[in-house]
Amino acid sequence: MTTTAPDTGRSPTEERPAPPGRRPLTLRRRESRAGLALVAPTLLVTIAVIGIPIVWTVVLAFQRVRLATLRKTGLFGEFTMDNIDRVLHTPGFADTLWVTLLYSIGGTVGSIALGLVAALVVRRPFRGRTLVRASMLLPYVAPVVAVTFVWQVMLDPQLGIVNHWGQRLLGWDAPVPFLTQESTALATVIVFEAWRYFPFAFLFLLARLQAVPGELEEAARVDGATPTQRFRHILLPQLLPVIALLGVLRFIMTFNKFDDVYLLTGGAAGTEVVSVRVYEFLTARTDIGAAAAQAVVLAVVLIVFVLIYLRFFGRRVG
Partner 1 sequence: MDRDMVETVSLRWLRRLVIAAFLVVTVFPFYYMLVLSVRPIERLLLDPGSLVVGFGELTVATYAEVLKATDDGGQGFLTFIRNSGLVAVAATVLTLLVAIPGAYAVARLRFFGRRQVDFLFLAVYLFPSIVIAIPLFVVFSLAGLRGSLFGLVLVYISQTLPVSVYMLKNYFETIPVSLEESAAIDGAGRLGIIRRVSLPLAMPSIMAVALYDFMIAWNEFLFALLFLVDKPDRWTVSLGLSLLADGVEVPKTVLMAGSVVLTLPIVILFFASERLLTEGLTSGAEKG
Q: Got the DSSP string for 244-268? A: HHHHHHHHHHHHH--HHHHHHHTT-
**3 state DSSP class of 81:** coil
Q: What are phi and psi of 63, to 5 degrees?
A: -125, 155
Stretch that binds partner 1, among 85-93, 134-142, 233-241, 307-315 (CB under 8 A): 134-142
Q: Which of 39, 81, 94, 304 binds partner 1 (CB under 8 A)?
A: 39
Binding flag, residue 36, partner 1 (CB under 8 A):
yes
Instruction: Name the minimum Å distance from CB 113 to partner 1.
Output: 13
Q: Which of 31, 113, 181, 244 binds partner 1 (CB under 8 A)?
A: 31
Q: At what angle do helices 93-121 and 182-209 cross, to 10 degrees?
A: 40
> In 10 A of CB 53, how many CB atoms?
12
Q: Which of 50, 81, 236, 307 binds partner 1 (CB under 8 A)?
A: 50
**What DSSP character marks residue 79?**
B
Instruction: Name the minimum Å distance from CB 270 to partner 1.
Output: 20
Instruction: Name the minimum Å distance from CB 292 to partner 1.
Output: 5
Query: Residue 79 forms beta bridges with which residues?
Result: 63
Binding flag, residue 117, partner 1 (CB under 8 A):
yes
Instruction: Name the minimum Å distance from CB 124 to partner 1.
Output: 9
Q: Which of 102, 109, 154, 212 binds partner 1 (CB under 8 A)?
A: 154
With CB under 8 A as the rule, give the number of residues binding partner 1: 105
Q: Which of 142, 187, 219, 307 binds partner 1 (CB under 8 A)?
A: 142
d(C-alpha 263, C-alpha 285), whole Å: 19
Radius of gyration of the chain (CA): 26
- Quick note: the x/- pattern for partner 1 over 225-244, rule CB under 8 A, is -xxx----------------
Binding flag, residue 183, partner 1 (CB under 8 A):
no
Stretch that binds partner 1, among 36-44, 81-89, 181-189, 308-316 (CB under 8 A): 36-44
What's the CA dihedral at 260, 188, 245, 226 to 10 degrees?
A: -150
- Quick note: the x/- pattern for partner 1 over 58-87, rule CB under 8 A, is --x------x--xx----------------
Binding flag, residue 127, partner 1 (CB under 8 A):
no
CB 25 within 8 A of CB 33: yes
Stretch that binds partner 1, among 15-23, 178-186, 198-206, 233-241 (CB under 8 A): 198-206
**3 state DSSP class of 63:** strand
The closest of 291, 190, 297, 173 to 250, measured between CA atoms, is 190
Q: Give the burial class of 150: count Cβ atoms within 10 A of its Cβ; 0-12 exposed, 13-18 middle, 19 or more buried.
A: exposed
Binding flag, residue 101, partner 1 (CB under 8 A):
no
